Structure formats: C-alpha cells, structure tokens
Amino acid sequence: MNWAKQRAQLIATIKSKKGKIKRIIAKAAKENETPDEEAEEEIEVLEEEIEILETNLDRIEAILEDIVDAADEAAEVIVENDEEIEELLIEDEDEEDEEEKGSSRRRRRRSSEKNYVSVKPNHAKKGIAFAQYAKAKAISILNQRKGNYVNPLEIAKSQGMDPRVIKALKKAVVLDTSNSSSLVVQNTMADEFVSLLRAQTVVDKIADSMRAAPFNTTIAGLATGSTAAWVGEGEKKPATNPTFLDIEIKHHKLAGIVVMTEELLRLATPSADKMMLDDLVEASVALIDTTFLDDLPQTANRPAGILNGAPKVVATGITVDTYGADLAALRRQFISNGLSLSGAYYIMSETRASDIGELRDALGNPYYRGMDAPLGEKTLNGLPVIESETSANVLALVKPSELYLADDGEVQIDYSDQATIDMGASTLVNLFQENKIAIRAERYITWAKRRVAAAAYIDYSLIP
C-alpha cells in the first residue's frame, strides 16, 4: 500500500474542491450578489466532501507517523539510507511533479536497497497496545511508591512494547498543546479495547438496532397506545388517549477490576500482556451481560435489567413438545403487547442453545434446523439467536429498537496497590500485604426500555 501516494491524491482532491468553492463565490461576487440557493447547495455538498477527505487525510498521516516512529524505535536496525522514510513525508505537490519525482526516487531506492533495511510498524494483536499502555503506567506507579521512579516511556522501551504505546508515552512526557497526535494514539488504543468488548457483550451485539440516547436525560416513553375502530354513519367515534411514562437515562459507570501479582505485571512477555487484556475484557463483559439480562430495577449506580417488569412464561419442560409450547406462549406474550417480531432476537445460554440443537424428530433430523448452525449463526423460528452463558436459566425474546442506549465509547484506567479488594464470595485481597496491584477499567454505558414490554422471557429456574 503506497500511503504517500494516497496522501498526495487526497491533498490534490481537497485542493480541487476548495478551488470549485472559490470559483462559485467569485462568480457571485462579480455580480455583486451572494451565492443563490442552487449555488449554496453545491457549496454545502463540496464542504461535506472536503470534511470527509480531510478526515481520511488525518488517518493516513497518522499511519505515516507510525511508520516513521517504528523506524526510530528499532534500535537494532541500522538504516544507512533514509530515502524510504523521505518518500513517506512528501509535501503537497502537483500530480505531474509527483509522478516524475516518484520515478526518480524508485530508481535511487532500487540502486541502494542493499544499504538499508525497510522498517515496518510492528503493531501487536488488537487490544494488546491498550493493555501494554496500562501496564507501563502501573509499573511506573509501583516503582515510584518504592522510591525508584522510572518513567512509563522507559518501561515501554525496555519491554519492547508496541510503537503506538511508545509514541503516546513519549508525547505525554513533554506536553505540546499544538499537537494532539498523542491523544489520537491513546484514543485509537482505547477504541481497540472497546471494540473487543463490543464483539463479546450481548448489549453491544444488538447496539446497532437500539435507539441512541444521551446521558442524563428524561425521555417520554409509551406505556399504552391509542386505539381506532370502524364506525357506521352517525355512530360515536371512540376517543382513547395513549398513556406515557418518563424514561430516565442516567450516567452509569461500569468498572472492571483485574488483580495481578507484581511479578506477573513486570513480565515482558506477549503472553503476560494477553492475559492482562483478556482479564480486563472478561471482567467487563461478565458484568455488562449479567446486568443487561437480569430483572432488577434501575438505581443511581446501575441501569435496570431488560427483564425488569417484562412478561414471563414459566417453563413446562425441556422436551420437543414443551419447548415448542413455551416458545409459542413467549411469542404470543410479545405480540399481544403490540410488538412485531421483525428485528427481534432470542437470547439464551450456549448450554440451552446446544440442548435445543440436539433435539431430533422421528427421522433423526434436527427439529429446530437453525439451531445446529455454528456459534453466532443460529436462528430459532426464523429469528437470530445470541448466545451468552450469563443468561443462565432465561430464554429471552428482545426487540432492540424498543431499547435506548447511551455509550460514549471511552475507557478510563486507574491503578492501586494500597487497597483491600472484595473479590466476591466473602474473599478479600489486601494488595499491599499480598504484593499485588489492581488495575481498574471504567466505561460509561447505560440503557433503558422504551416500553416495559420491550422484552419477554421464559424462566427455566424451576426445571431440574
């Protein structure tokens, strides 16, 4: 991929579109007028296109910076000829000059290939950079409290961390208010971590179908709808009013805590970095899914589970016939509340999905054919199935378009080695006493039902 050439093409295109805007305005100015309605619409379209092009230009320039930084940080690689890096920093030139100079550079590069080694960015697996960034900061804090402060940048370099981590930490040492590239790098690493979460949580798998909402707002929701009827000549017309309820979207914060020994934290190995990443993701995923699929009400600290106040069907068994009867009752509950099955999802545990997939008819064929598909591809009665072991004894039917979601997509990291952590099941861990450190990842996310009946479920808790 020739990033430098793409950069030059983007700059040329932006320049051309800005020239068009200038000509439109100049034409109107000659007639002592402002641009007419048609010209204004054309200018708006061009400005939108320029904004998109400039966003992509920023991305490509960030990639070029990563390539150059990777070359700078590769201490063991000797670069005797810097013409390849020079090629990546081409300034805005005319396209004809670009082609001529490009040909000249290619000829010079081929003649000197034996003199240097091309350095490519060595970005780690998705999300690892975020874990390494947190790790470098945590080790620095540990050393500081022991009277031996080491800059997080030096720790990252000594452990050979991802170049993006080194770049972010390098620019954090000397604050440059004219350059926000360090913030961009950190946001990119955090985005990778959030995208890993979104690939695993139930709520994020249906987020695209949910209604976006801002934090700390109150929205009017529909409790009961109005009705209509056919009437004859001279007969009374029905007059009914819908009833509304207030839906409060709070600013809820989810925090996942991972406790590690200092020895494990200091290990400069990919497996240790991956273990830390996996633990951070797992802690957050488990809490999000458990909360999303429970029946508890909203509080100041957490959103309500989608099963709170939802219609419930008590399971009658786990045979072909009882599954069929219970699922039919579930769909009736859903439809009777004025909700279409279009766009709805079934949510169940992997264990239950596997059990249903094993059911066979008299000829030995799968009774529910869509349930023998691979994970993530299952369907039941024509509706997609999401599998999450946190749903436990619940099989839910959910309409995502009847749910609100507020999510700022950001993650905050904090550290401590001076606390006592409640690990659940009456287990307390004193970090100082046990020579451990806790790393906490916080994400702001919440949800709320637009209608009480946005979900219905079958309860299997009484089935042995």
Write the pLDDT tens digit of every residue in 70-126.
Answer: 655 554 444 444 444 444 444 444 444 554 555 554 444 444 444 433 334 444 566
Give the C-alpha separation, 206 to 403, whole Å.
10
* Long-range contact set of residues 173-179: C-beta below 8 Å, sequence gap at least 24: none
pLDDT at 1 over 80: no
How far are the Cα atoms of 90, 274, 395 from residue 349, in angstroms, in the given order?
54, 26, 8
Contact between residue 280 and residue 139 where contact means Cβ atoms under 8 Å apart: no
List the structure tokens of 71. 């070359």
CA nearest to 430, candidates 418, 440, 420: 420
CATH architecture of 253-459: 2-Layer Sandwich (3.30)
List the structure tokens of 334. 């859903």
pTM: 0.57
435 confidence band (pLDDT: 50, 70, 90): confident
Contact between residue 262 and residue 437 where contact means Cβ atoms under 8 Å apart: yes
DSSP 203: H
- pLDDT average, residue stretch 213-217: 83
How far are the Cα atoms of 58, 174, 182, 183 from residue 177, in angstroms, in the given order?
18, 10, 10, 11
DSSP 373: S
Give the C-alpha separation, 69 to 52, whole Å.
26
List the structure tokens of 238. 């029905």
Q: Of 89-93, 131-135, 160-164, 459-463, give the lowest mean pLDDT range.
A: 89-93
CATH 3.30.2320.10-classified regions of the chain? 253-459
- Mean pLDDT score of the chain, rounded to an integer? 76
Query: Which alpha helices (DSSP H) does 94-207 contain, by range?
Result: 95-111, 128-145, 152-158, 163-173, 181-198, 202-205
pLDDT at 196 (0 to 100) = 66
Give the C-alpha separation, 371 to 353, whole Å.
7
Q: Are strands 455-459 and 383-387 parallel, antiparallel or unpaired?
A: unpaired
Residue 392, Cα to own-chain centre: how many angstroms?
25
Contact between residue 254 and residue 443 where contact means Cβ atoms under 8 Å apart: yes
Q: Of 154-163, 334-343, 355-364, give the lowest mean pLDDT range.
A: 154-163
DSSP 113: G
pLDDT at 10 over 60: yes
Provide the 10 A C-beta neighbour count for residue 198. 17
